[in-house]
Amino acid sequence: MRKALISVVLVLLAVPVAALAEDAIRPEPACPGAFPAPGGSVAFSRQLRRSLFDGKEIVVTRHYRLVFVPIPHGFRIDGALADTEVEAPDRLAALMDIEKARPDTTTFPIYLDHAGLIVPVPNGPRSASAPKVQSLAEQMIAASHLKGQAQGQANQFVEQLFSRQGPVITQWPEALFRPGGGPRITRDRLTLPGGESGVVTMTLRPHSARPCALVQSMERIIETEVGGQKRRTTEVWTLTPLSPNRGD
């Protein structure tokens, strides 16, 4: 039962842990000058690759068209979902069909300050994902066949995760659109059910023409280790201007 509880916790961590780790590495607005926002439409994608219990993966890639709109305090990014690609084991085909057909009405708009950093919006649409993620975590526990004390510990862990996050889930790196430096690695220890402890390691690898230029791609790898078991979640964002930059 202990092994089953650890496995469930690892999968639960893969859902909201990015928000926990993000707090540890929030960057300072170190880039000088105004953000070199692109003009016209931008092709943008986010790929999420998540490992499962059996070593297989779920891969979801969403493609968007973005427009950066100047506003008094920075920029507003308006976005529309253009396409969704889903890869998953056959046993998850029904769930993946739902994911592929799911519209995305909460990711955008995103707001940036003058330095190009994402501005959290506590009462905005990005916080609406928290109840959905918590509901998903509770469904995962119900389907895990944990019983008695183990099930109670898993449910308690979910409550701790979401109370720790507070009103805002910062899903994306704050400096996603204008990274100021090279790769960064952070590690954080978590207290888990049953007296276990876990380690979360997050690696950010940005790529742009030069530091503080408009991002070309960014990779975030989150590895969780509990009781000798490991899980990895990888996200890759890519951005390609479809018309000439006005500031870069």
Q: Is 78 left (phi over 0), alpha (psi -120 to 50) or beta?
A: beta
Q: Tell me what pLDDT residue 149 has.
A: 61
Work out whether strand 229-241 and strand 184-191 pair parallel, antiparallel, or are unpaired. unpaired
Q: Tell me what pLDDT residue 6 has.
A: 47
Q: How far apart are CA 63 and CA 66, in angstroms?
A: 10
Residues 246 and 40 sit within 8 Å (Cβ to Cβ): no
Which DSSP string corresponds to 85-122? EEE--GGGHHHHHHHHH----SS--EEE-TTSPBPP-T
Is residue 179 in a domain?
Answer: yes
Is residue 248 in a domain?
Answer: no
The count of domains in the chain is: 1
- The residue length of the chain stands at 248
Query: What is the extent of the structural domain holding 165?
Result: 2-241
With both helix axes pointing from N to C terminus, report the angle between 129-142 and 2-14 in degrees, rounded to the nearest 10. 160
Half-sphere exposure for 8 (CA within 13 Å, toward CB): 29
Is residue 57 in a domain?
Answer: yes
Q: Tell me what pLDDT residue 23 has.
A: 43
Q: Tell me what pLDDT residue 89 has.
A: 84
Q: Tell me what pLDDT residue 104 has.
A: 85
- Please give the chain's pLDDT, 248 residues, in tens: 444 444 555 555 454 444 444 444 445 456 888 999 998 999 999 999 987 767 788 899 999 999 999 999 999 999 999 999 999 888 777 777 877 888 888 889 999 999 999 997 754 444 444 555 556 566 556 655 666 666 666 666 556 555 544 433 347 888 999 998 789 898 888 766 666 777 888 899 999 988 899 999 999 998 888 777 788 889 999 999 885 544 44
Q: Tell me what pLDDT residue 55 has.
A: 76
Q: Tell me what pLDDT residue 161 has.
A: 53
Is residue 199 in a domain?
Answer: yes
Distances from the Cα of 60 to the Cα of 88, 97, 136, angstroms: 9, 11, 17
Is residue 75 in a domain?
Answer: yes
Is residue 247 in a domain?
Answer: no
Is residue 246 in a domain?
Answer: no
